[in-house]
């Protein structure tokens, strides 16, 4: 019998982020690359936050294999797991994928811990971003290893920072995190793109969104958020769709109007942008990305106003009277707002009732319109939101107008039957906002293991 | 066209947690209960963190309905959404479900914002914890409203604090959060309890755990964690099983042995327990729960040692030679450890190879055993963990021994083919640890919307 106690884990290792010149260090990592020279060479080591360069001198650096035998730099190969002992030297490294570009480690000893089965490992350093289908397919087919590419690593450091700062901000303004089921008996968003499944003889669905559950959550906790997968059975394979994605969901009670929801979303995005700028500066540099401008005042246009403005200013064709923004309008109004107000973000509000989900609240001043909005960023919609209906009778009326059977929404309607405050919310797709922030054209590049009509592995 | 800007949301409302006697306040909430007296009465208001009492005086308090008409306290009913203006008075409230038990609000004005469709709302105050199947069924059938019960609200405040402090601790020691797919082409844990689904003509599964993906994550980021749903097609409906649960998953690279994983888990649990004690003191009081003792030194027994000890000390029947701990042994060794070492936690290690998952690493000193562990808390297993195999050849060998087809694990094996450090990890079921911490006997009570063989709604 022994004890486990709480001495600090791995205290013998140095925190590379905090070392200074001349210091003796010990750390571990995977070999990202090796460059052999006449006098020795360089071993580039992968750390979670980026690469670090180590320098081997034939005369003074010893390299030891798993069995304790002395080996040479020629025996070091990519994707070995190693421990490095050495001294910090100053350096000036041009390679942008090297995070620690002002230092290098003069190696006294490298110890090999484990090695791949082959010396012909996938060369992750050679992987490029590309819209070419065959390049993407190769990367996704080999995702289990291609993620070891520094640029891919940077993408998912940014996306986890986005998710964490999303939670952090919402908790700071009184939200409660909830976890709701993804196996559901009722679809939330409707339509054909829902996955069915057999559940002990019953037909069930994978949740398209936590819409019903987050509204229920408002009746309990006033303000709730969720970070969880959502499912859309997209039959078209495009650069903008994923069949499984992480939905950042927000729902907020006791609002006086959808403007409060919009204001919350702006404050939230402001916090997320600041957090990513602060915590991921290396990642942004490596990906050559610049986060969008979110000024104090963000312009808001009603849909009809936007159509009118763009036509009058001769920025687009005539879309007046249309139910939604045309893609050319989304691009044009963002360009216009950037020039005029310095904002990469534009709100479009008051979409026609028939164009929005049944739970969207009608505008009391014009029931053909809803208190709903889209948020555009740099020409593309990144989120939809708005105020929801909170009275049972209003749901029943809208369901009757749409020919929906209220019996299919029993527990949902019961929530409103038992009392609900006015409320509204929105959802942001994590992969979508990550790819937009980073200027990545295919949203699948922002999913660790993307799912589309053709892909369920790895 | 207008602007949305970032003034602080709802600044007109008071933070009830920070008010002091004599202060004028304004806040909103749902009516949890009403008690009418001769002179007026009490309106108990629900806030996310607990209840607050307000006092109505017939002569001085005005109550206004949605249309601006003056009404009486008799017209106030449960689950109305209201805004309250008033003054803080000191009080001494015995009802434990009232969070703010040292103050009450002397009402000057209540404004009704919205109301249920019925005055006969479900009386959530009358709901009790119970192992009685019919009581549970009623609560779960009406979960959309029964969650408004203060004790249920407290449970999920604790569970979200557990999830957040889990993430917080791991980020502080260098872990990266990942989001991995739940639609998968290969099962991780094997066995019969897996949900199948049709995916555009292919058979796919709902992930039983992110095991393969978190191991892949270690090859990329050294240390990773995930908070996400996991699925088990449990055909038996018990108080210890859920078919959908939130799995708190950890995987850690560059370990020297499973002791490092165990040490990490202890430090993590220590942080979680401290966070819950700090942030959820009202919830713990309301639920009459006391968190477990986790001393500096936690005892560790090999399985064979534990069998031997319990038999020799005449604490259980003779289980020597058995493949796992018997339930009476789990209870007995926890009682023993509590008395002898003051620890509610006990590790059992070195389970037989054939009893553990194929990815468990064999003990080099005795390949019939694995470097794996169970963590017991107060008599029940709360988590399994251990060191994993990190060499492709060792996987192929184990798969051959078990008659597994390596072609079914192509991308998984390719991960090790391309090099992996030694690693290990563990998983904690969020609902399970929440119910154990709170002394709740049915794990379903710790799931917002539980899923079992009979239940997929609400």
Cα dist from B204 to A6, A193, B151, B194, B403, whole Å: 42, 17, 39, 10, 22
Give B 274-303 residues with CB within 8 A of chain A: 296-301
Say how far apart CA A420 and CA B30 lie, in whole Å. 8
Q: Report CB contact under 8 Å: A266, B6.
A: yes
| Nearest chain B Cα distance for residue A92, angstroms | 25
Mean pLDDT of A274-284: 98
B415: nearest CA partner in chain A: A144
Say how far apart CA B303 and CA A300 lie, in whole Å. 66
Q: Report CB contact under 8 Å: B216, A147.
A: yes
Chain A within 8 Å of B79 (Cβ-Cβ)?
A: yes
Give A 359-388 residues with CB within 8 A of chain B: none
Instruction: Say if residue B169's pLDDT is above 80.
Output: yes
Which residues lie closer than 8 Å to A90 by C-beta, 6 or more apart?
A21, A102, A103
Task: Check: CB of residue B66 under 8 Å from CB of residue B113.
Answer: yes
How do A223-231 and A176-177 pair as beta strands? parallel
Flag the least confident range among A46-55, A388-397, B19-28, B117-126: B117-126
Instruction: Say if residue A244's pLDDT is above 90.
Output: yes
Residue B79 with chain A: CB contacts under 8 Å: 418-419
Mean pLDDT of B324-342: 97
Q: Looking at residue A267, what is its pLDDT?
A: 96
Burial of B209 (0-12, 13-18, 19+ CB in 10 A): buried
Mean pLDDT of B262-291: 97
Residue among B47, B259, B270 whose CB faces A6 most closely: B270
pLDDT tens column, A25-62: 999 999 999 999 999 999 999 999 999 999 999 999 99
The residue with greater pLDDT, A6 or A291, is A291
Q: Looking at residue A188, what is its pLDDT?
A: 61
Residue B143 with chain A: CB contacts under 8 Å: 216, 411
| Nearest chain B Cα distance for residue A1, angstroms | 5
B156: nearest CA partner in chain A: A178
| Mutation for A interface: B419, B420, B421, most A CBs within 10 A | B419
Q: Looking at residue A189, what is its pLDDT?
A: 65
| Nearest chain B Cα distance for residue A43, angstroms | 16
What b/e readout covers B267-301, taking b as 16+ CB neighbours within 10 angstroms?
A: bbbbbbbebbeebbebbbebbebebbebbeebbbb
Q: Looking at residue B119, what is its pLDDT?
A: 87
pLDDT tens column, A67-124: 999 999 999 999 999 999 999 999 999 999 999 999 999 999 999 999 999 988 988 8
Q: Looking at residue B192, what is its pLDDT?
A: 76
pLDDT tens column, A210-232: 999 999 999 999 999 999 999 99
Give A 95-134 residues with CB within 8 A of chain B: 113-118, 121-122
Q: Looking at residue A253, what is its pLDDT?
A: 98
Q: Which two three-digit tokens encode residue B379?
A: 């008599």
A220: nearest CA partner in chain B: B148
Q: Report CB contact under 8 Å: A48, B176.
A: yes
Say how far apart CA A97 and CA A285 lie, in whole Å. 9
Flag the least confident range among A17-21, A312-316, B29-33: A17-21
Q: Looking at residue B187, what is its pLDDT?
A: 63
Q: Looking at residue B7, what is its pLDDT?
A: 67
Mean pLDDT taken over chain B? 95
Give B 13-32 residues with CB within 8 A of chain A: 28-30
Q: Looking at residue A126, what is its pLDDT?
A: 82
Instruction: Say if residue B56's pLDDT is above 70.
Output: yes
Q: Looking at residue B236, what is its pLDDT?
A: 83
Q: Which residue, chain included where needed, has tokens 């580039």?
A: A44
Q: Looking at residue B190, what is its pLDDT?
A: 67
How many CB atoms are located within 10 Å of the residue A320 CB?
A: 12
Task: Check: CB of residue B422 under 8 Å from CB of residue B253.
Answer: yes
Complex ipTM more than 0.95, yes or no: yes
Angle (CA) B2-B6-B7 rounded to 5° is 100
**B403 alpha-carbon distance from chain centroid:** 37
Is residue B131 very low, low, confident or very high in pLDDT (cuts 50, 70, 90)?
Answer: confident
Task: Check: CB of residue A157 under 8 Å from CB of residue A283.
Answer: yes
Q: Report CB contact under 8 Å: A263, B5.
A: yes
pTM of the model: 0.97
Q: Which two three-digit tokens encode residue A71?
A: 């080996």
Q: Looking at residue B10, what is its pLDDT?
A: 59
Residue B221 with chain A: CB contacts under 8 Å: 48, 153, 156
Give B 194-253 residues with CB within 8 A of chain A: 195-200, 202, 204, 206, 212-213, 216, 219-223, 227-229, 231, 233, 235, 243-244, 246, 253
Q: SS3 of B345, please?
A: strand
Cα dist from B44 to A144, B41, B95, B218, whole Å: 55, 10, 11, 51
Q: Which two three-digit tokens encode residue A231?
A: 């499912």
Chain A within 8 Å of B181 (Cβ-Cβ)?
A: yes
Task: Check: CB of residue A85 under 8 Å from CB of residue A107.
Answer: yes
Cα dist from A253 to A92, A209, A220, A264, B299, whole Å: 54, 18, 10, 12, 48
Q: Which residue, chain included where needed, has tokens 């969901």?
A: A249
Residue A264 with chain B: CB contacts under 8 Å: 9
| Mutation for B interface: A9, A49, A179, A185, most B CBs within 10 A | A179
Q: SS3 of A81, please?
A: strand
Chain A within 8 Å of B39 (Cβ-Cβ)?
A: no
Residue among A153, A173, A414 whose CB faces B144 most closely: A414
Q: Which two three-digit tokens encode residue B428?
A: 């904690």
Mean pLDDT of A180-191: 82
Q: In what side-by-side order are the strands of the sheet with B176-177?
A: A2-4, B298-302, B345-349, B372-377, B380-388, B423-429, B244-253, B223-231, B176-177
| A-to-B residue pairs, Cβ atoms closer than 8 angstroms | 346
Residue A174 with chain B: CB contacts under 8 Å: 48
Residue A394 with chain B: CB contacts under 8 Å: none
């Amino acid at each position: 019998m022994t004890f486990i106690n709480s001495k600090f884990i791995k205290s013998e290792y140095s925190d590379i982020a905090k070392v200074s010149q001349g210091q003796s260090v010990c750390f571990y990592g995977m070999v990202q690359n090796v460059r052999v020279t006449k006098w020795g060479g360089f071993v580039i080591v992968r750390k979670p936050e980026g690469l670090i360069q180590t320098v081997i001198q034939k005369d003074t650096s010893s390299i030891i294999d798993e069995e304790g035998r002395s080996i040479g730099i020629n025996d070091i190969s990519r994707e070995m797991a190693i421990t490095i002992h050495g001294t910090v030297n100053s350096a000036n490294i041009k390679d942008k994928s090297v995070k620690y570009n002002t230092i290098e480690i003069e190696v006294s000893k490298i110890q090999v811990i484990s090695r791949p089965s082959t010396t012909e490992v996938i060369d992750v350093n050679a992987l490029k971003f590309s819209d070419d289908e065959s390049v993407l397919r190769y990367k996704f087919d080999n995702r289990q290893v291609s993620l070891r590419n520094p640029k891919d690593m940077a993408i998912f450091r940014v996306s986890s920072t986005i998710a964490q700062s999303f939670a952090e901000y919402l908790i700071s303004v009184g939200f409660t995190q909830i976890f709701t089921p993804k196996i559901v008996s009722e679809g939330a968003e409707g339509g054909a793109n829902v996955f069915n499944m057999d559940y002990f003889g019953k037909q069930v669905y994978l949740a398209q969104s936590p819409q019903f559950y987050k509204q229920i959550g408002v009746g309990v906790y006033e303000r709730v958020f969720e970070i969880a997968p959502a499912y859309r059975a997209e039959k078209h394979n495009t650069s903008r769709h994923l069949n499984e994605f992480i939905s950042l969901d927000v729902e907020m009670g006791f609002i006086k109007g959808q403007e409060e929801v919009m204001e919350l979303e702006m404050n939230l995005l402001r916090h997320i942008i600041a957090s990513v700028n602060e915590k991921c500066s290396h990642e942004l540099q490596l990906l050559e990305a610049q986060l969008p401008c979110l000024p104090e005042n963000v312009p808001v246009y009603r849909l009809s106003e936007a159509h009118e403005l763009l036509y009058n200013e001769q920025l687009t064709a005539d879309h007046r009277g249309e139910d939604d923004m045309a893609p050319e309008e989304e691009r044009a109004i963002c360009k216009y707002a950037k020039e005029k107000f310095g904002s990469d973000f534009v709100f479009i509000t008051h979409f026609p009732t028939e164009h929005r989900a049944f739970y969207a609240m009608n505008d009391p001043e014009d029931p053909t319109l809803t208190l709903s909005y889209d948020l555009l960023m740099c020409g593309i919609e990144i989120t939809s939101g708005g105020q929801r209906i909170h009275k049972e009778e209003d749901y029943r009326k809208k369901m009757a107008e749409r020919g929906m059977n209220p019996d299919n929404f029993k527990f949902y309607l019961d929530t409103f039957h038992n009392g609900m405050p006015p409320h509204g919310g929105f959802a942001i797709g994590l992969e979508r906002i990550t790819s937009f922030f980073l200027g990545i054209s295919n949203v699948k590049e922002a999913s660790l293991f993307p799912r589309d009509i053709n892909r369920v592995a790895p």
